[in-house]
Amino acid sequence: MSHELILHNYDFSNYSEKVRLALGYKGLAWRWVTVPPVAPKPNLTPLTGGYRRTPVLQIGADIYCDTRLILAELERRHPQPALFPESTRSQAAAIAYWAEQQLFRPISLYVSGTNADVLPSDLQADRSLMRGLPVPDAATVARAAKRNAPAVRVQIAMVQEMLADGRTWITGPDVTIADFAVYHALWFIGGRTDRLQHELAPHPHIARWMDRMRAFGHGQVQPMSPEEALRVARESAPAPPRPSAPFDEDPPLGAGVRIRADDYGRDAIEGQLAFIDRHEIAIRRRDPQVGDVAVHFPRLGYDLRAIER
């Protein structure tokens, strides 16, 4: 059974950059499988059961969705150096939530609208459909970029203020998930072109902190084909689940359940509830291409309900 870390990702995906840097920070070896940046993703969905967002971490027949859970799973398997130091754990999670829910969306609209000519031509349409929005024309995309620029500028200044006392990392002396969450949002600004670098230029503390983050690198990475990743899953069995710690309101273990993201990319994944605790939900499912897999999600940010079978 393979315990290689396999990351399904693509180059300009900022959430993937978050995980790639976390792999570098922990000094890990991993395999890179390229997924298409837009749906459909025929070599990914047999593994996830329908989850289409990027990235996804595969370890044998265990599939980890969402970077918040992926970082936690990396920490569980490779605790040092730490991503979740105890003294700042909740503070870091709150800052990471702000970075990914409030800072990143305007950055995404500003950057995508400014770089429309160098991004895949079907990207805007795919992302709008993923959010249940009408497909915009070029003028609408350009207007959205302009409208979101102030929210980007105001929030970049907040990051500069967080670092202004000369601290090394966002919450102080220790690296936390807040650094990775803020970094990948700002990385997206210059990830494709330098047309918006002027937004970062007035902020020397951010520049030095981003240099420190970049220096983590990506660890030791070797490519893998999508077919090989499917074969690894087919030839592996999911790891036995850890003991669960459910709340009274949760469906019972073994129940048929449906889970979906509560924000966007809300494709439903169905299977049997195999594990649940405060932080994680795992669903067991059988797929004609890869056999039994366990698909893992963070609890927060996902909607879980029992289904009639």
Ligand X SMILES: N[C@@H](CCC(=O)N[C@@H](CS)C(=O)NCC(=O)O)C(=O)O
DSSP labels, 187-235:
HHHHSS-STTGGGTTT-HHHHHHHHHHHTT---EEEE--HHHHHHHHHT
Shortest Å distance, C-beta 118 to ligand X: 16
Q: Give min distance, CB of 195 to ligand X, in A.
A: 19
What are the residues whose beta carbons fall under 8 Å from the beta carbon of 197, sequence distance 6 or more?
Answer: 189, 190
Peptide bond just before 55 cis, omega within 30 deg: yes
**Which residue's CB is nearer to ligand X, number 26 or number 53?**
53
Q: Taking the complex as a whole, how short is the minimal distance between the CB of residue 68 and ligand X, in angstroms?
A: 5
Q: Which is nearer to ligand X, 1 or 94 (CB)?
A: 94
| Chain residue whose CB lies nearest ligand X | 53
**Cβ pair 58, 238 in contact under 8 A:** no
- In the complex, the smallest distance separating the C-beta of residue 142 from ligand X, rounded to whole angstroms, is 21
Minimum gap (Å) between residue 129 Cβ and ligand X: 10
**Nearer to ligand X among residue 37 and residue 60 (C-beta):** 37
DSSP string, 46-59: HHHSS---S-EEEE
CB closer to ligand X, 111 vs 206:
111
Residue numbers of the site for ligand X (CB under 6 A)? Answer: 13-15, 37, 52-54, 66-68, 130, 265
∠ CA 161-114-116, rounded to 5°: 140
- Which of residues 13 and 176 has its CB atom nearest to ligand X in the complex? 13
